[in-house]
């Protein structure tokens, strides 16, 4: 803290001898005027000299006023003594770390000079900061004048609160310093004061935040109110403008306003339509995502099943290895002669068993041929026996599907010339519905054309063996033909006698040509044929939806012309809703499969009149689909 000294310069009476102890008086005058720092030297001179030398001179020069002058000198000396004590106390307070402060005149003079210099420096710095503060306040007031009154009041309140908080912190620091230096407050008291100060500071901060929230809410409210007032003012200005206009100008202005409003309404309607379309797109994407998740779920289940199968095989292999190791350990204990004997016995036993197997194989081949001939005869008899059923199908103009429950749902079957889209996720049984459909036709002697893009004829043959006994005999009878565009593209070199091979799935012209040729051969001998297309998804994958549409449109049209009943497989989750709708436009109906909570359902869409178009529960077996109960618009 800077010490400000304002010494009083006494004026001696006019009749006092001006030459008494002139050196002392000049020293005192120079110190009072700031010319020298010799006061402390003068004060610390020998006290006896101050009492014995000064007073006699005063007594000799003053005469009768000696007593009055003595009192004044004594008073000045007391004041100087008090001033000295105050100076020492101030120096100790400003330098508490210096326990042994030098009280010599030279040291005190140096300290006093330092204090005075610091005081001058601080005063100049304070003056400069005050001038800067005044400039900033002017700029701040100019910026505040452009703000609304409510916002201006809020900012002023915040500034006042910040200034009070800063003042409170300064006072707390000063009090803490005073308590530490002057009053001897212990560390515990300082800690308590600091904790109390921190608590008060936190309380003030909470209050400030609450006030800030209130002010923000008020500002938001006032902003809304200002906006509303601005709108009202704008409306009043428009009304005043219209009131000042002539009737013709007002009418023109109203027409212009009306046109602007109508234009904005049109834009708003377009934006609402766009929003609706975007919502539809979002729903469609959600459906596609859900379908993809279903497919991924199926794949994960299949992977789990395969892992379980591999674990089982690993266990079997480990068991066989243990048995082999045990056998090896047993054989190591047998001597070489015994091993040779056992080896000869095993060789003779193996030779005998091979002869038995050859004999049994010849017998089995003979029996197989016999059974084949019998089966062929049975199949031919079965086809002849079902001639009446074929005639009934032509009378009702509907063909059976191979599932009596599905025929009941379709009120008798599928109409002639129908192209049906079979839509569903993988591994859900939609292929079994087509296999049953083909098998039902073959049992009645109705030929079938397989157009395959993702399977080989052998794969189809293995599937059909589980659905139709003696499927190979139907092939030998010439009732089955394959249009295979898959095997050659996969590098398969086997030639199937019942297949027509196409090199690439994208060679749509050759697929069309081969199908038409086989269909013509079947139509010469039979009234109609059945066609299974597996699958449309592969055709789209190898080309694009538009190319596939241009191929399937005439392809399905020719099948309708022939009166054939055709089924086309398409995988769910691989195509967008727009592609499904585009393909559905050239079809006569669709059977839609779905999986819901690990339960399988299908729904008939289009085709013909049905008992119910709701989703109907079914289960998948090895030999076909087992359809649950249904009634009109109700599923049990």
The more confidently predicted of residues 34 and 263 is 263
Please tell me the predicted confidence (pLDDT) of residue 205. Answer: 81
Residues 341 and 408 in one domain: no
Residues 42 and 91 in one domain: yes
Residues 139 and 237 in one domain: no
pLDDT of residue 23 exceeding 60, the answer is no
Residue whose C-alpha is closest to residue 399's, from 451, 439, 450? 439
Q: Residue 499 in contact with residue 482, Cβ under 8 Å? A: yes
Residues 342 and 472 in one domain: no
Please tell me the predicted confidence (pLDDT) of residue 554. Answer: 92
CATH code for the domain of 579:
3.40.50.300
The more confidently predicted of residues 497 and 250 is 497
Q: Residue 420 in contact with residue 399, Cβ under 8 Å? A: no
For residue 9, what is the enclosing H or E element? Answer: none
Please tell me the predicted confidence (pLDDT) of residue 503. Answer: 86
Please tell me the predicted confidence (pLDDT) of residue 235. Answer: 81
Work out the mean pLDDT of the chain and round it to a whole number.
76
- The residue out of 190, 224, 244 marking a domain boundary is 244
Please tell me the predicted confidence (pLDDT) of residue 5. Answer: 41
- The residue out of 344, 363, 385 marking a domain boundary is 385
Residues 425 and 553 in one domain: yes
Residues 33 and 141 in one domain: yes
Asked if residue 90 belongs to a domain, the reply is yes
Asked if residue 301 belongs to a domain, the reply is no
Asked if residue 532 belongs to a domain, the reply is yes
Q: What is the DSSP string of 118-164?
A: HHHHHHHHHHHHHHHHHHHHHHHHHHHTTS-HHHHHHHHHHHHHHHH
The more confidently predicted of residues 339 and 416 is 416
Residues 340 and 456 in one domain: no
Give residues with Cβ within 8 angstroms of 471, minimum separation 6.
439, 442, 461, 464, 465, 480
Over residues 261-281, the mean pLDDT reads 88
404-430: pLDDT as tens digits: 888 888 888 899 989 999 999 988 888
pLDDT classification of 88: cutoffs 50, 70, 90 = low
Asked if residue 256 belongs to a domain, the reply is no
Over residues 265-271, the mean pLDDT reads 89
Over residues 547-564, the mean pLDDT reads 90
Over residues 325-335, the mean pLDDT reads 67
Residues 347 and 448 in one domain: no
Please tell me the predicted confidence (pLDDT) of residue 18. Answer: 43
In terms of Cβ atoms closer than 10 Å to its own Cβ (0-12, 13-18, 19+), residue 611 is middle
Over residues 573-602, the mean pLDDT reads 87
Please tell me the predicted confidence (pLDDT) of residue 187. Answer: 52
Residues 488 and 595 in one domain: yes
Asked if residue 266 belongs to a domain, the reply is no
pLDDT classification of 1: cutoffs 50, 70, 90 = very low
pLDDT of residue 315 exceeding 90, the answer is no
Residues 407 and 380 in one domain: no
The more confidently predicted of residues 524 and 621 is 524
345-364: pLDDT as tens digits: 888 888 888 887 877 776 67
Asked if residue 374 belongs to a domain, the reply is yes
Q: Which of the residue ranges 282-296, 316-330, 432-446, 491-505 would you say has the lowest mean pLDDT? A: 316-330
In terms of Cβ atoms closer than 10 Å to its own Cβ (0-12, 13-18, 19+), residue 205 is exposed
Q: How far apart are the C-alpha atoms of 541 and 556, rounded to whole Å?
A: 19
Asked if residue 22 belongs to a domain, the reply is yes
Please tell me the predicted confidence (pLDDT) of residue 370. Answer: 53
Residues 524 and 619 in one domain: yes
The more confidently predicted of residues 483 and 218 is 483
Check residue 2 and report its DSSP letter: P
The residue range of the domain holding 471 is: 397-635
- The residue out of 179, 210, 244 marking a domain boundary is 244
Q: Residue 450 in contact with residue 480, Cβ under 8 Å? A: yes
Q: Which of the residue ranges 89-98, 209-218, 508-517 would you say has the lowest mean pLDDT? A: 89-98
Residues 192 and 100 in one domain: no
Please tell me the predicted confidence (pLDDT) of residue 516. Answer: 92
Asked if residue 346 belongs to a domain, the reply is yes
Over residues 533-560, the mean pLDDT reads 89
- Report how many domains make up the chain: 4
In terms of Cβ atoms closer than 10 Å to its own Cβ (0-12, 13-18, 19+), residue 41 is middle
């Amino acid at each position: 803290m800077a010490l400000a000294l304002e010494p009083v310069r006494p004026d001696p009476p006019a009749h006092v001898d001006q030459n008494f102890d002139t050196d002392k008086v000049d020293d005192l005058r120079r110190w009072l005027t700031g010319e020298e720092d010799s006061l402390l030297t003068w004060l610390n001179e020998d006290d006896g000299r101050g009492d014995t030398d000064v007073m006699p001179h005063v007594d000799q020069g003053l005469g009768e006023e000696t007593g009055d002058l003595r009192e004044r000198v004594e008073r000045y000396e007391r004041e100087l003594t008090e001033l000295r004590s105050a100076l020492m106390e101030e120096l100790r307070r400003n330098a508490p770390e210096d326990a042994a402060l030098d009280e010599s005149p030279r040291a005190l003079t140096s300290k006093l000079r330092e204090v005075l210099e610091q005081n001058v420096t601080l005063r100049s710095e304070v003056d400069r900061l005050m001038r800067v503060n005044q400039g900033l306040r002017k700029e701040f007031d100019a910026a505040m004048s452009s703000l609304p009154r409510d916002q201006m009041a809020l900012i002023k309140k915040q500034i006042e609160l910040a200034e009070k908080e800063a003042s409170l912190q300064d006072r707390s620091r000063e009090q803490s310093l005073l308590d530490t230096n002057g009053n001897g407050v212990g560390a515990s008291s300082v800690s308590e004061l600091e904790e109390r100060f921190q608590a008060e500071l936190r309380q003030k901060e909470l209050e400030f935040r609450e006030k800030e929230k209130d002010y923000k809410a008020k500002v938001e409210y006032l902003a809304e109110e200002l906006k509303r007032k601005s709108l009202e003012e704008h409306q009043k200005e428009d009304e005043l403008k219209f009131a000042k206009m002539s009737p013709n100008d007002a009418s023109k202005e109203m027409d212009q306003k009306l046109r602007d409003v109508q234009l904005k309404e049109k834009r708003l309607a377009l934006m609402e339509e766009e929003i609706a379309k975007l919502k539809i797109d979002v729903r469609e994407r959600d459906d596609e995502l859900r379908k993809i998740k279903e497919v991924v779920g199926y794949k994960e289940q299949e992977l789990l099943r395969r892992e379980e199968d591999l674990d089982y095989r690993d266990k079997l292999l480990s068991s066989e290895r243990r048995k082999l190791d045990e056998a090896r350990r047993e054989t190591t204990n047998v001597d070489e002669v015994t091993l040779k004997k056992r080896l000869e016995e095993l060789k003779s036993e193996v030779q005998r068993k091979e002869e038995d197997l050859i004999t049994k194989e010849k017998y089995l081949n003979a029996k197989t041929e016999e059974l084949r001939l019998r089966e062929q005869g049975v199949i031919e008899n079965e086809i002849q026996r079902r001639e009446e059923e074929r005639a009934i199908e032509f009378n009702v103009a509907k063909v059976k599907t191979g599932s009596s429950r599905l025929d009941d749902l379709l009120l008798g079957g599928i109409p002639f010339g129908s192209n049906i889209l079979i839509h569903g996720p993988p591994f859900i049984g939609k292929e079994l519905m087509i296999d049953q459909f083909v098998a039902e036709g073959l049992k009645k002697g109705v030929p079938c054309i397989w157009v395959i893009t993702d399977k080989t004829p052998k794969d189809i043959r293995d599937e059909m063996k589980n659905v139709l006994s003696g499927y190979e005999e139907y092939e030998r009878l010439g009732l089955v033909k394959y249009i295979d565009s898959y095997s050659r593209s996969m590098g398969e070199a086997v030639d199937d006698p019942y297949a027509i091979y196409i090199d690439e799935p994208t060679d749509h012209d050759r697929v069309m040509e081969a199908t038409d040729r086989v269909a013509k051969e079947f139509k010469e001998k039979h009234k109609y044929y059945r066609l299974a297309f597996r699958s449309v998804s592969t055709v789209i994958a190898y080309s694009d939806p538009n190319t596939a549409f241009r191929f399937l449109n005439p392809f399905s049209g020719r099948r309708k012309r022939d009166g054939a009943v055709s089924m086309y497989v398409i995988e769910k989750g691989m195509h967008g809703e727009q592609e499904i709708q585009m393909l559905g436009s050239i079809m006569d109906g669709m059977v839609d499969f779905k999986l819901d909570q690990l339960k399988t359902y299908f729904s008939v869409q289009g085709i013909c009149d049905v008992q119910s178009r709701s989703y109907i529960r079914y289960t998948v077996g090895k030999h076909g689909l087992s359809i649950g109960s249904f009634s009109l618009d109700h599923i049990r």
